[in-house]
Amino acid sequence: MRAPTLDSQQLQSRYRIGAVIFAAADVPEELFEERLKGISKIAEQVMITISDKDDALMLAHQLMPGGYRIGTIQAEASLKAFAHRNHLNNVTLLDVSSQHKTAGGIIAGHHYWYRHPWVSSDVILLMRTNLPPAQRALTISEHPAVWYMPPDYPGRVRDATRQILRGQW
């Protein structure tokens, strides 16, 4: 016998999963999209980092089946459309691609999410606080699901955390 179906709010209350982060994720987009609705339903936020400089993910696409990996810029359009079509308003994409020039240097390689101080700061801030992107000093793109790091990110994130957290970090 199956348990009764729970809505998103009931699932989130029951399991208390704040943020789920897919950083430099080596998951084929078709497989990920099959599971994203369920992940989105149980988590308060889902963040996917996307880069155009992750050679490991590009190689994985060439050598293994399943399409582009969700951590690549090539998967961005599909992920945006999927999130919009399925009304997944708690799914955000953090685009750290080179078109968003940052004073923090080039964000490249498969390890960027923990080695680059800006990206790792955002990942840690999200895990510790579950704040939405705007409150983590990210800048929204022309699409409501896609965010990026502005050139003055370090100062903005410092000011935002001081204001929002009021010394409770």
Does any domain span residue 1? no
pLDDT of residue 103: 53
Residue 157 to residue 126: CA distance in whole angstroms: 12
CB 70 within 8 A of CB 29: yes
Does any domain span residue 3? no
Q: How far is CA 120 from CA 96, 109, 113, 116, 132, in A?
A: 12, 14, 5, 6, 16
Does any domain span residue 151? yes
pLDDT of residue 67: 87
Range of the domain at 159: 8-165
Domain count, the chain: 1
Q: Half-sphere exposure of 4 toward its Cβ, with a 13 Å CA cutoff?
A: 3
- 104: nearest Cα among 92, 120, 93: 120
User: pLDDT tens digits, the chain, 169 residues: what are they?
Assistant: 455 688 889 988 899 999 999 999 999 999 999 999 999 999 999 999 999 989 899 999 999 888 899 999 999 999 999 999 999 999 999 999 866 556 566 677 888 888 889 999 999 999 999 999 999 999 999 999 999 999 999 999 999 888 888 867 6
pLDDT of residue 146: 95
pLDDT of residue 101: 59
Q: Half-sphere exposure of 73 toward its Cβ, with a 13 Å CA cutoff?
A: 14
pLDDT of residue 131: 94
Does any domain span residue 54? yes
- 94: nearest Cα among 68, 64, 66, 125: 125
pTM (2 d.p.): 0.88
pLDDT of residue 106: 67
pLDDT of residue 107: 74
pLDDT of residue 1: 44
CB 46 within 8 A of CB 9: no
pLDDT of residue 42: 95
**53 Cβ partners below 8 Å, 6+ apart?**
97, 98, 106, 107, 108, 109, 112
Does any domain span residue 82? yes
DSSP category for residue 127: H
